[in-house]
Chain A
Amino acid sequence: MKEIRIHGRGGQGSVVMAEMLAIAAFEAGKYPQAFPYLGGGGERRGAPVQAFARISDKAITLKEKIQNPDFVIVQDTSIMDIVDVFQGIKPGGTIIINSNKDKDEYKVDREDIKIYTVDANKIAIETIGKPIMNTTLLGAFAKITGQISLEALKNTIEERFDGKIAQKNIEAARKAFELVRGDN
């Protein structure tokens, strides 16, 4: 079973990202689960939000929060001042950060963690016209982890959004798939 934790702020679509991740994984014949954690008063735009997803070969019954994720996705680097996004990452785990900086700019005192960055803000604004980066980051996630295919992600986006918006989001995911950089 692979476990994923997503960090973002309310309104950035972290919960929808976890949902789409689960749907894309299901399409590939896996058993998925996705759920949010809206702590700190929750449900407010701008408040720190966590969303979780699990992908497994067997049915998932666990309902506990994810303590030791295999993969972490950070939508908004401003959150890194107040939340330890590296917390509990499994040995050899991976973090994908939405950033225009190089991965070396992000320091963590563990050498086993693989860091990737992708400038999802820029891609999303150029392609979708809005700084909503969830589909873009899923493109990067697909490339780095291989847990979902770009094809499954495309189908999921088409199911979730209407015509033109869907196509723009697919294009953004594709770009991120190509542009993500880090520990290859």
Chain B
Amino acid sequence: MKERISVIEGSMAVAEAIRACNPGVISAYPISPQTHIVEYISDFVADGTYKGRFVRVDSEFSAASAVHGASAGGARAYTASSSQGLLLMCEVLYNSASTRLPIVYTGVNRTISAPISIQPDHQDTMALRDTGMIQIHVESLQEAYDAHIQAFRIAEDEDVLLPVMICMDGWTLTHAFEPVKRFSDKDVKEFVGEYKPVQFLNPKNPITYGAFADEDKLMEFKYLMVQAHEKAKEKIVEVASEYKEKFGHYDGGLIDEYRTEDAEIIVLAMGSVVSTVRAAVDELRESGKKVGLVKIRSFRPFPKEAIIKACKNAKLLAVIDKSLSLDVGGILVSDVKTTFYNEDKKPLIASFIAGIGGKEINRKVVKDIVADAEEIAQKGKVEKDSIFVNLNTQFI
């Protein structure tokens, strides 16, 4: 296996992964912090290393539509966007998912206006939560590279056939430089395989996609998507194992557990903050605290069974949310609460809203969260629906 490690930008890691997977059609409209990914792909078009069709468009709506059409026509397709751009795609994304088109997207996480900001949080991809697409959050540049390659395999699996969005925090991951291990385009192509659509729009054999359904079958379409999500849970794990077999390291699966075996408090989080939580857990463990971490990698499908298995013996789960459903609270924590509601044995679940609009979550912030969590665990009762971490009271 030919591999090389060098220091590259997160956006380049994604662009190289996409080039190797060789989509027939890529279409995108620039928006920070997604821009570098598409710029690098444009370079590949210019130097001839990407030979597919790059479609320039006038908006994210058009970009999502172009890849929808390309995928329906039987091509492997890819696009990327951020923030308002993802919102503008939203209508098309419901269509693409329900049409069961295996398109791969990068959702470069950035907060939503207003006020305008380019800093990362998870509100944008959360707004796409119910489109039907698979959403996988990554924490490092290496994982971003690995996850994009695996994404095509998951999306195109005949039992799944759903779009996959790889969610990665803008700036923190897209604009960071780190050593990233990559494999030859040839080996990656071999792993991903040639795309053979189950069916596609073809004038010689006319069919129609997503045209019309009455009340006798619309819900049935949605039910089939629910089943596809169940299948995707197996597939996500399976593809990661195959990836390990071929390339030598495991970067995948539904969740990742860290020091959870005897943990009384488990922090649950998604995205780049997971790396910082892991470092904080190490430091807290050194001072004798029984703290663990569960990284939620796959947000949709939501890995209920894996979360229950990993967390059922903890006293308290401290869930970090970088997005908000107003008046209800964190979106991730709501799913975690739902997961445990009908279980006989369930830990206390506390919600920490943090990192909104890019507000810094460093090790100290994580330790403060754990300290609050310990206090709640001691009381044995969660009194506040949500704890907003480091609110700047000057503005309230």
CB distance from A105 to the nearest CB of B (A): 33
CB distance from A61 to the nearest CB of B (A): 4
**In the complex, which residue of chain A has the Cβ closest to the Cβ of B365?**
A64
Query: Do B140 and A61 have beta carbons less than 8 Å apart?
Result: yes
Interface string of A8-35 (1 = CB under 8 A from B): 0000000100110011001000011111
Query: Do B279 and A62 have beta carbons less than 8 Å apart?
Result: yes
A43 to B170, CA, bound (A): 13
Interface string of B132-172 (1 = CB under 8 A from A): 00000001100000000000000000000000000000011
Please tell me which one of the listed residues A23, A32, A33, A65 contacts residue B360 in the complex, with CB atoms under 8 A apart. A65
**In the complex, which residue of chain B has the Cβ closest to the Cβ of A39?**
B119
Q: Which residues of B contact A41 (CB under 8 A)?
A: 118
Given contacts A38-B118, A63-B272, A64-B362, contact A33 B9 (CB under 8 A): no
Query: Do A42 and B177 have beta carbons less than 8 Å apart?
Result: no
A112 to B345, CA, bound (A): 55
Given contacts A22-B7, A23-B7, contact A63 B275 (CB under 8 A): yes
| Residues of chain A from 66 to 80 with CB closer than 8 A to chain B in the complex | 67
Number of residue pairs A-B, CB distance < 8 angstroms: 67
**In the complex, which residue of chain A has the Cβ closest to the Cβ of B277?**
A63
In this assembly, does A60 line the interface, its C-beta being within 8 Å of a C-beta of chain B? Answer: yes
| Residues of chain B from 30 to 80 with CB closer than 8 A to chain A in the complex | 32
A22 to B360, CA, bound (A): 23
Query: Do A32 and B179 have beta carbons less than 8 Å apart?
Result: yes
Residues of B in contact with A, size category: 20 to 34
In this assembly, does B361 line the interface, its C-beta being within 8 Å of a C-beta of chain A? Answer: yes
**In the complex, which residue of chain B has the Cβ closest to the Cβ of A15?**
B175
In this assembly, does B334 line the interface, its C-beta being within 8 Å of a C-beta of chain A? Answer: no
A34 to B9, CA, bound (A): 9
Given contacts A19-B177, A33-B176, contact A65 B362 (CB under 8 A): yes
A64 to B276, CA, bound (A): 7
In this assembly, does A93 line the interface, its C-beta being within 8 Å of a C-beta of chain B? Answer: no
Q: How many residues of A contact B (CB 8 A)?
A: 25
Given contacts A61-B278, A62-B276, contact A26 B179 (CB under 8 A): yes
CB distance from A144 to the nearest CB of B (A): 22
Query: Do A32 and B7 have beta carbons less than 8 Å apart?
Result: yes
In this assembly, does B178 line the interface, its C-beta being within 8 Å of a C-beta of chain A? Answer: yes
CB distance from B283 to the nearest CB of A (A): 11
A43 to B110, CA, bound (A): 15
Query: Do A26 and B6 have beta carbons less than 8 Å apart?
Result: yes
Please tell me which one of the listed residues A15, A32, A37 contacts residue B178 in the complex, with CB atoms under 8 A apart. A32
Q: Which residues of B contact A42 (CB under 8 A)?
A: 32, 118
CB distance from A99 to the nearest CB of B (A): 27
In this assembly, does B349 line the interface, its C-beta being within 8 Å of a C-beta of chain A? Answer: no
In this assembly, does B273 line the interface, its C-beta being within 8 Å of a C-beta of chain A? Answer: yes
CB distance from A5 to the nearest CB of B (A): 14
A18 to B361, CA, bound (A): 22
A65 to B175, CA, bound (A): 13
Choose among A19, A32, A42, A61 the residue with the greatest number of B CB atoms under 10 Å from its CB.
Answer: A61
Query: Do B118 and A63 have beta carbons less than 8 Å apart?
Result: no
Query: Do B172 and A23 have beta carbons less than 8 Å apart?
Result: no
Interface string of B191-215 (1 = CB under 8 A from A): 0000000000000000000000000
CB distance from B129 to the nearest CB of A (A): 23
**In the complex, which residue of chain A has the Cβ closest to the Cβ of B360?**
A65
A169 to B9, CA, bound (A): 22
A32 to B278, CA, bound (A): 19
Given contacts A62-B279, A63-B276, contact A35 B175 (CB under 8 A): yes
Query: Do A63 and B172 have beta carbons less than 8 Å apart?
Result: yes
Interface string of B107-120 (1 = CB under 8 A from A): 00000000000110
Query: Do B177 and A32 have beta carbons less than 8 Å apart?
Result: yes
In this assembly, does B363 line the interface, its C-beta being within 8 Å of a C-beta of chain A? Answer: yes
CB distance from A60 to the nearest CB of B (A): 7
A43 to B360, CA, bound (A): 19
Q: Which residues of B contact A32 (CB under 8 A)?
A: 7, 177-179
| Residues of chain B from 1 to 23 with CB closer than 8 A to chain A in the complex | 6-7, 9
A174 to B215, CA, bound (A): 75
Query: Do A62 and B7 have beta carbons less than 8 Å apart?
Result: no
Please tell me which one of the listed residues B7, B9, B275 contacts residue A26 in the complex, with CB atoms under 8 A apart. B7
Query: Do B176 and A34 have beta carbons less than 8 Å apart?
Result: yes
Query: Do B179 and A31 have beta carbons less than 8 Å apart?
Result: yes
Given contacts A19-B177, A65-B360, A67-B362, contact A36 B7 (CB under 8 A): no
Q: Which residues of A contact B272 (CB under 8 A)?
A: 63
Q: Which residues of B contact A26 (CB under 8 A)?
A: 6-7, 179
What are 5 inter-chain pairs, A to B, with CB distance below 8 A? A23-B6, A31-B179, A34-B7, A35-B172, A64-B361
Which of A's residues lie within 8 Å of B, judged by CB? 15, 18-19, 22-23, 26, 31-39, 41-43, 60-65, 67
Q: 7 shortest A-B CB distances, which residue pairs?
A: A64-B362, A35-B176, A34-B177, A61-B275, A63-B272, A26-B7, A23-B7
